[in-house]
Structure 1
Amino acid sequence: MKIAVITDIHGNAPALLAALAEIDQAHVSRIYCLGDMIGIGPDSNEVLGILFNRKDVSLITGNHDEGVLALIHGQPYPKSHEDTRNHHQWIADRLDPTFVARLDSLPRVIDTMLMGHSILFTHYHIEQEKLSATFYEDPFSPIVQPTLENMERLYGDCHQELICFGHHHPTHFFTGKHSTYLNPGSLGCTPGPYARYASVTVTQEKIEIELRKVAYDNTAFLAAYEKLNVPDRQFILKVFHGNQLKE
């Protein structure tokens, strides 16, 4: 069977549509979306509409999804994320209310077996005792640099054959003695006009992984940050989109 792994769309609808167009041509059995569907980019409603209208997508939440939900529900917002609060409030104020219950219902992890192989899908590492912690309690582990040694240490309490995650936007692809660690890289936040995802072919004998990049026109998407007065847009365009807008 073939699956696709996508993560960190971050409100970028044209990037998502470009990736899905290629994924659909490959006739995958299932798409696993590893959180941070919303936030950063201005297309949160469009992205959720696309994902929720499909029957072949399994989703989990990421820190941006949970941060926006915390503000919508009037829950405590962590001081550790104070620099994103204004931006998350902007997203929360514009989020289609019909999406809230569906977001609330999503799990943090999917731990499954495919063709006899154990696979974990998570936004990033979460210690077992924090799986039910609130967003205010900072459930996600601190980001570490992408090396095999760091991945083995970070996910030392996870024993699945394939561990898929996102959160840290660069691509990670490492194979150790017991596990393969796969982060296809952020789909929606890239330094160039392309969307990233991973194609994973699973048979009884083995798991094969192909990292994919799909070109798309991001001109209108990037221009929308200024047009819509997205909070922190200059920082976002520099840090998350590689200063692609030309003066």
Structure 2
Amino acid sequence: MEQQKIAILTDIHGNHSALKAVLDEIDRDNETTHIHCLGDLIGIGHETNEVLDLLFSRKDTSFVIGNHDRAIMDILAGEQPDSIGAEREHHQWIAKHFDKYFLPLLEQIPKKSTAVYNGQRFLFTHYHLNDNECLLPVDYEPTVKKLDAHYQESQADMVCFGHHHVVHHFKSRERIYFNPGSLGCQHKPLAPYAMITVGEAGNIDVSLKEVPYDNKDFLLSYSRLQIPAKEFVLKNFYGNQHLYYLE
């Protein structure tokens, strides 16, 4: 038995430039056996079709669905998404420019998935789910005690999730809980992801990565394309980095 190495990505949010930089780095590592992508592939960022084309062209990647993905799918199905106000207007713009070739592929993505690496059981989900498999509200003060209580019936040795865009890394006597942070929404031109190595003895090593990339065209395109809610998005999800390029 040899060690196994997997990559964890989450919350790409329609940022093709960031995603490509990360995948290029992963592809240079010949030891990586699989990629797990934990949802919110699209929405917030506008490079929807480019992101989906890049992801779905790969044979080494598994997915779980995110709430922004679900909102776009609901709109395309003629249903009302959970989003409201400016966020819904933004989602409607994304849906209007969505290549429907990708819709059947999105519809096949589950809410959670599992895998076993060197005897260690992994659970992958966009965020913590209730008994009806609906996303719970974001817990901005997570603790090991609360996570253990929620997953007390789980057999997983490690739970990987996203949704909350900051890094989580908790370890209890029961399991590890891990979120690598949003790949596509950061206040610096850096795209985070993680490499997880599971050794022959089942030992788990987590390595956080940050890949620099050129986000100038991505950010300036919000104004060029007149994307709804662009001021809110650029301020809250990207820290108004576009202003550096306007000087």
TM-score band by shorter chain is: over 0.9
Whole-angstrom CA distance in 2 between matches of 1:140 and 1:157: 17
Whole-angstrom CA distance in 2 between matches of 1:149 and 1:213: 29
Whole-angstrom CA distance in 2 between matches of 1:5 and 1:157: 24
Counterpart residue type for residue 211 of structure 2: V
Asked if residue 82 in structure 1 is aligned to residue 84 in structure 2, the reply is yes
**1:156, distance to aligned residue in structure 2 (A):** 4.0
Asked if residue 73 in structure 1 is aligned to residue 77 in structure 2, the reply is yes
Instruction: Tell me the residue number matched to 1:174.
Output: 170
Instruction: Tell me the residue number matched to 1:219.
Output: 216
Instruction: Tell me the residue number matched to 1:160.
Output: 156
Whole-angstrom CA distance in 2 between matches of 1:70 and 1:155: 29
**1:93, distance to aligned residue in structure 2 (A):** 0.7
Q: TM-score with structure 1 length normalisation?
A: 0.92
Return 5+ residue gaps in structure 1 as ranges.
Answer: 132-138
Q: How does 1:123-162 map to 2 (within 5 A)?
A: 123-127=126-130, 129-131=131-133, 139-145=134-140, 146-162=142-158
Whole-angstrom CA distance in 1 between matches of 2:80 and 2:84: 11
Counterpart residue type for residue 179 of structure 2: N
Q: How does 1:1-247 map to 2 (within 5 A)?
A: 1-27=4-30, 28-78=32-82, 81-83=83-85, 84-127=87-130, 129-131=131-133, 139-145=134-140, 146-205=142-201, 206-246=203-243, 247=246
Whole-angstrom CA distance in 1 between matches of 2:199 and 2:227: 44
Whole-angstrom CA distance in 1 between matches of 2:229 and 2:80: 22
Contact (CA 8 Å) 2:148, 2:174: kept in 1 or not? no
Whole-angstrom CA distance in 2 between matches of 1:74 and 1:63: 17
**1:207, distance to aligned residue in structure 2 (A):** 1.0
**1:230, distance to aligned residue in structure 2 (A):** 1.1
Contact (CA 8 Å) 1:173, 1:180: kept in 2 or not? yes
Q: TM-score with structure 2 length normalisation?
A: 0.92
Whole-angstrom CA distance in 1 between matches of 2:237 and 2:150: 24
Q: What SS does the corresponding residue of 1:68 show, helix, strand or coil?
A: helix
**1:157, distance to aligned residue in structure 2 (A):** 4.2
Whole-angstrom CA distance in 2 between matches of 1:120 and 1:75: 30
**1:242, distance to aligned residue in structure 2 (A):** 1.3
Contact (CA 8 Å) 1:222, 1:245: kept in 2 or not? yes
Contact (CA 8 Å) 2:19, 2:184: kept in 1 or not? yes
Q: Percent identity?
A: 43
Return 5+ residue gaps in structure 2 as ranges.
Answer: none
Segment of structure 1 superposing worse, 185-194 or 202-211: 202-211
**1:154, distance to aligned residue in structure 2 (A):** 4.2
Instruction: Tell me the residue number matched to 1:134.
Output: none
Whole-angstrom CA distance in 1 between matches of 2:241 and 2:154: 38
